[in-house]
Structure 1
Amino acid sequence: MATYTPKLKPRPVVVDQVPKRKGKTAFMRFISWIHLWPSIVSGVILVFVCLTGVIIVYGDEIMDICAGDARFVKEVKVQKATSQELLTSIKKGSPDLAISELVFFKDPKRSVRARVFDGKSKKLAHLYIDPYTAEVLKVDTTIYFFYITAHLHASLLAGKVGGWIVAISTIIFLISSITGLVLWWPNRWNKTTRQASFTIKWKAKFKRLNYDLHNVYGFYSLILCVVLSATGLLIFFHPLGELTVKLAGGSANHVAENLPKAIKGKTELDMVPIVDQLFSNEYATKKNIGIWIYRLEKSGAYVFSGGTSGLKSTENMDIAVFDKYTGTRITVSEQDNIHEKVENYVWQLHMGQWWGQFGKLSTFLAGIVATSLPITGFLIWWGRKKRKLKRLGY
């Protein structure tokens, strides 16, 4: 007589459960400790630093929006104002203004942008000036907001002590990113582990969803998180930055340090025709040309940076140097040129200005993930702690 054997339905896969590693080795327990506890201690600082960094990424675009119509002139004329007329017009509005930078645009409809510091209000501002009439079209202080945000990001507005706190937290974040990759790496690769490692189970309960947000997005943003951390440390630790320049073949000095000194009483040439000449020839593809002038009175040369000027870096940057009394081109050594470009590249990578809008969007998204990682990581630890206490009867 035949016996009836019931058909058992396969047990459904539990998607809400946070996966565990069985039988952790001493090495993996050490990696887990290094990944968890320093991050717990520095978590609040890391969230704040990452969040302020995210805000800065689109600073250039926000400042352009705030400038509005002042970015453009009402009428394009044949004759342009001289650089001296531009500087005089700026000072006329407020003698307390210290002018640090001028940016000239290739588009004849664009106004000249000056970066200034007001000695009375102690605020940084952008002035937009008509390149034909030298009229100041607008004073915009949006840059001051990003100036404060940048100092919060770099030092919590707490000087050297704050800078060290941020640097140590950044080192912890860099270590956590690397140890996180070790913890993320599956013991064996198969369909199940690939799905768990690369996809988020959006329909899972909060605990599993939070784990996936930390684990999966942490992996996808890993490279940029490491780059942002490393470049931040290169900027903070000057000897480390200088070593990077040296390894790239650069000299120990900036271009400006090897230029002729100013000659007292000698008349400077107008820089506007030199800028127009650059735009007509070798800088024909550049969006703008900037020049830092806050120490120009001590130098005997004009140092122009062609490219797309940002808050702290210039995309696609090239340097051109001219004697400011004769207009003669001054040749910059390859080593000095490498020095300037490497420092600029470091700032580009840190600010997200490394590949147009794609670079900015990638950095922005990586910054959001970096901001969330200490939070999602804390929630994972807290959930496990509560479960452990519950098992112990607390």
Structure 2
Amino acid sequence: MISFKKINAWLHLWLGLISGIIVFIVALTGCILVFEQEFKSLTQPWLHVKRPANAEYLLPSVIKSKVSAKFPGKEISGIWYYGLERTATVSMNSDSTVYINPYTADVVSLVNEEDFFHFILDGHTSLWIEAKIGKKKVGQLIVCYATLIFFVLLISGLILWWPKKWNKSNRDKSFKIKWSAKFKRINYDLHNVLGFYSLIVALVITMTGLVMGFAWFSQGVYWLSSGGKSPAPYINSVSDTTKAAGDVMLKNVDLAFKRGITEIGTYNKNAIIVSFPDEPSEPIELCTDMYNGSWRYVYLDQYTLKELPSTQVHIDKLKLADWLKRRNYAIHVGAIGDIPTKIIYFLASLICATLPLSGAYIWWGKSRFSKSKKVKRNKSASLKTEV
């Protein structure tokens, strides 16, 4: 009868070989993306602007008017104010991102966002495969299922790592790398020991990735963390057109913007996204509280500025299940604790990228050793026959 340990080892081996190259690409690209914003801040001067003494942002309507004059025929749908010492971006139907000075509305730069990090993100999420099945890229499906396999590998790896006996010799093998040994042993220790040390962070990254990849997994996490409840259904935000009285949209967008940075936003108050409604029934959309990888959407009636039911609850008032749902992206990318957690995530992702390589080398070494033993046995049998 085949033991559970052998079945687990067999699954760990073959699932690892099947998903290895995908896990390597996803983990390595994720490792690179951890410090994307910090790297861009250092290397892209158009992201920064000097704030005049105590100057306030130009209102959205003013920026819209001035930028529209410079880009005739381009429809502006929103403005993203990143912070007091940062340029703002204007959302319009253009192939390039328009960076402007939020105090003068001068265009600082036109940037094509198809840059290095965009290329890396495509690899991380879809392996650079553009073909689609329905609305989803084939590459995204492959990444999702490879992530699910990696989740199983982490659990099976922990089972394989677990010592039979907790004596000193086994503890040393499980927690220490024997650097004085031959490369084969060092490689095994790197796979076994570093895999264990990165396990918790690797599980967190994997599970939050699965939340984004599979609706059933997201619903399952919510169900478990809420004690068997389901998320509240989404309510579509609609402005009350019976309250329309003249062309007040731009004026009310400005008022909504002021409320966003003085009353509504709590965290990182000077960072806000504001939209310009296209239709009479559309709300004014604000994105506030953009802090450590999370954000909150607020929807206001474009005529009365009344907060609409679909507005997200402030993060400080959320229960565990909703808090996890809101923070899932921040947890996935390591932004939840800023630089310290990003460093931990960087190291854990780097280790995860090496696991398929070290694991494949372990398998190759064992396979080669088995073949060598088989050849020796055959030669020995031949010699005995000849004698």
Task: Give me the TM-score of the superposition, normalised by structure 1.
Answer: 0.78
Distance in 1 of aligned mates of 2:262 and 2:328: 29
Give the counterpart letter for 1:305 in structure 2. C
When residues 198 and 75 of structure 1 are mapped into structure 2, their CA distance, relative to the original with a 3 A threshold, is: same
Q: In the alignment, which residue of structure 1 is the partner of 2:346?
A: 364
Q: Counterpart in 2 of 1:134?
A: 105
Rate the CA distance shift 1:359–1:196 in 2: closer, same or farther, 3 A. Answer: same
Closer/same/farther in 2, CA of residues 53 and 299 from structure 1, 3 Å limit: farther
Q: Which residue of 2 aligns with 1:384?
A: 366
| Structure 1 residues not aligned, in runs of 5+ | 1-23
Aligned to 1:237: 214
Letter in 2 for 1:380: I
User: Partner letter of residue 82 of structure 1?
Assistant: L
In the alignment, the residues of structure 2 paired with residue 295 and residue 29 of structure 1 have an alpha-carbon distance, to the nearest angstrom, of 61
Measured after TM superposition, the shift of residue 206 of structure 1 is: 1.0
Flag structure 2 segments of 5+ consecutive residues without an equivalent. 377-387
Which deviates the most, 378-387 or 75-84? Answer: 75-84
Distance change (3 Å), C-alpha of 1:62 and 1:308: farther
Find the counterpart in structure 2 of residue 306 from structure 1: 288
Structure 1 residue 97, shift from structure 2 partner: 5.8
In the alignment, does 2:7 pair up with 1:30? yes
SS at match of 1:291: strand
Distance 1:266 1:37, change over 3 A: same
| 2:266 and 2:289 in contact (8 A); partners too | no
Identical-residue share of aligned pairs (%): 28
The aligned residue for residue 119 of structure 2 is: 148
Where does residue 86 of structure 2 map in the other structure? 110
Contact (CA 8 Å) 2:34, 2:342: kept in 1 or not? yes
Query: C-alpha separation between the residues in 1 aligned to 2:202 and 2:304?
Result: 47
Provide the C-alpha distance between the structure 2 equivalents of 1:382 and 1:181, rounded to a whole number of angstroms. 21
Distance 1:229 1:290, change over 3 A: same
Is the CA contact (8 Å cut-off) linking 1:114 and 1:128 kept in structure 2? yes
| Corresponding residue for residue 384 of structure 2 | none
Instruction: Name the CA distance, whole Å, in 1 between partners of 2:322 and 2:77.
Output: 18
Q: How does 1:187-266 map to 2 (within 5 A)?
A: 187-242=164-219, 244-245=221-222, 248=226, 250-253=231-234, 257-260=236-239, 266=247
Q: CA RMSD in A?
A: 3.3
- Per mean C-alpha deviation after superposition, the further-off stretch among 211-220 and 232-241 is 232-241
Which whole-Å CA distance do the structure 2 matches of 1:260 and 1:340 have between them? 26
Question: Is 1:82 the counterpart of 2:63 in the alignment?
Answer: no
Which of the residues 275, 283, 289 maps onto 2:271?
Answer: 289
Which residue is equivalent to 1:324? 302
Structure 1 CA distance for aligned equivalents of residues 170 and 25 of structure 2: 33
CA 1:390–1:65 in 2, change beyond 3 Å: closer, same or farther?
same
CA contact (8 A) 2:301 2:307 kept: yes
CA separation of 1:225 and 1:101: change in aligned 2, threshold 3 A = farther
Q: TM-score, normalised by structure 2?
A: 0.79
